[in-house]
Amino acid sequence: MTAVPVALIQVTDVRRITPRMARITFAGDGLDALPSWPDQQLKLLFPRPGQTVPRLPEEPGDDAMGWYQAFLAIPEAERPVMRSYTVRSHDAERQRLTVDFVLHGTPGEAGPATRWAATAKVGDTLARYGPAAEYARPLPLDAPGLILLAGDETALPALGSLAEALPATARATAWIEVADPAEEQPLPTRADLTVHWVHRDRAPAGADGALLAAVRAARLPQEPVFAWLAGEAGAVRGLRRHLIGERGLDARGIDFTGYWRRRLTQDDAPTKEDLAEARERLAAAREQAG
């Protein structure tokens, strides 16, 4: 393994934990030495059609920029598809890494990551980039007040890891949007956590979207001191504006990430809204640091 956190990983277990979510466990070099934290991000590299193993740079360079340039130099038809995911759990002793995959859409509509996950079997091989400790974000999970968590099913792996990391003294409330009741899953925690499941198949049509409408209509027992928001980028922006403009939450007390964009993939160019979100995240990080 080079200084850049890249390595091949092999599937050791596949489970369908809900009709639309697959939990896949991997083994591979270096998993015993990974740093670990809640809401831990990494990138997965998927082989192209006709490949059994993703092609990685032969001369990867000594740093992240060098590796990425070498990655882009691979012909597009052979270059792995790279997508961002969250570590659901990490077992350093057993050298195992578990990732939950949301299975979006029908087979004809699904993207390359969903197509791979829907048919994954023991022995299949991916590559990982990360996790890297420099991307860890300290989160105030022991805040002496209400913690608000909100997201859709793509946020569930991270939200599950956050729930497990909450101390027993924490009080938290979560709103989670999923397709229907069959997509609900347990969220083990030591904390006093109240979970509100928002079902898209039962939500009234409206401009706000199901998740934002549910949070906007909620009566909170007290004003949250920290909010964590993730999921579809437009919904996350709406939630953040609501919490700041209508609930009066300090912008510095919100951690927010748009995981995906409606009708767009990670390969598409950023929109004006994406760039605005990036500026907001940068400004929030500067305020927290200052």
> Using one digit for the tens of pLDDT, what is the confidence trace for 64-78?
889 999 999 999 999
150 and 283 housed in the same domain: yes
CATH number at residue 178: 3.40.50.80
Domain boundary among 106, 133, 160: 133
Does 139 reside within a domain? no
Q: What is the DSSP string of 95-158?
A: TEEEEEEE--S-TTT--HHHHHHHT--TT-EEEEE---GGG-----TT-SSEEEEEEEGGGHHH
pLDDT for res 282: 56
pLDDT for res 208: 65
158 and 277 housed in the same domain: yes
Are the C-beta atoms of 62 and 16 separated by less than 8 Å? no
Backbone angles phi, psi at 181, to 5 degrees: -60, -25
Q: Range of 163's domain? A: 146-289
Does 174 reside within a domain? yes
- Give dist(CA 244, CA 75) in Å, integer: 45
Does 141 reside within a domain? no
pLDDT for res 266: 47
Q: Which amino acid is at 89?
A: S
- The pLDDT confidence band at residue 105, using thresholds 50, 70 and 90, is low
- Give dist(CA 12, CA 175) in Å, integer: 32
Sheet holding 224-232, edge to edge: 192-199, 171-178, 146-152, 224-232, 254-260
Please give the share of the chain, as a percent, with pLDDT higher than 90.
Answer: 69
Domain boundary among 103, 133, 163: 133
pLDDT for res 272: 56
159 and 275 housed in the same domain: yes
94 and 177 housed in the same domain: no
Does 28 reside within a domain? yes
Does 140 reside within a domain? no
Does 234 reside within a domain? yes
Residue appearing with tokens 């598409």: 268
Q: Does 21 score more than 50 pLDDT?
A: yes
Please give the share of the chain, as a percent, with pLDDT higher than 70.
Answer: 85
Are the C-beta atoms of 208 and 187 separated by less than 8 Å? no
pLDDT for res 107: 58
129 and 157 housed in the same domain: no
Q: Which residue has the higher pLDDT, 225 or 149?
A: 149
Average pLDDT, the chain: 87
Does 65 reside within a domain? yes
- Give dist(CA 254, CA 41) in Å, integer: 18
116 and 161 housed in the same domain: no
pLDDT for res 173: 95
pLDDT for res 268: 43
217 and 266 housed in the same domain: yes
Q: Which of 274, 46, 19 is nearest to 282 (CA)?
A: 274
- Give dist(CA 243, CA 249) in Å, integer: 6
Provide the whole-model pTM. Answer: 0.85
CATH number at residue 103: 2.40.30.10
285 and 226 housed in the same domain: yes
> Using one digit for the tens of pLDDT, what is the confidence trace for 24-47?
999 999 999 888 899 999 999 999
Q: Does 108 score more than 80 pLDDT?
A: no
- The pLDDT confidence band at residue 1, using thresholds 50, 70 and 90, is very low
Q: What is the mean pLDDT of residues 189-205?
A: 89
pLDDT for res 106: 62
> Using one digit for the tens of pLDDT, what is the confidence trace for 235-271?
999 999 999 999 999 999 999 999 886 554 544 445 5
196 and 246 housed in the same domain: yes
151 and 233 housed in the same domain: yes
Number of domains in the chain: 2
- Give dist(CA 236, CA 241) in Å, integer: 9
73 and 167 housed in the same domain: no
> Using one digit for the tens of pLDDT, what is the confidence trace for 121-162?
999 999 999 988 877 888 999 888 999 999 999 999 999 999
66 and 183 housed in the same domain: no
Domain boundary among 86, 109, 133: 133
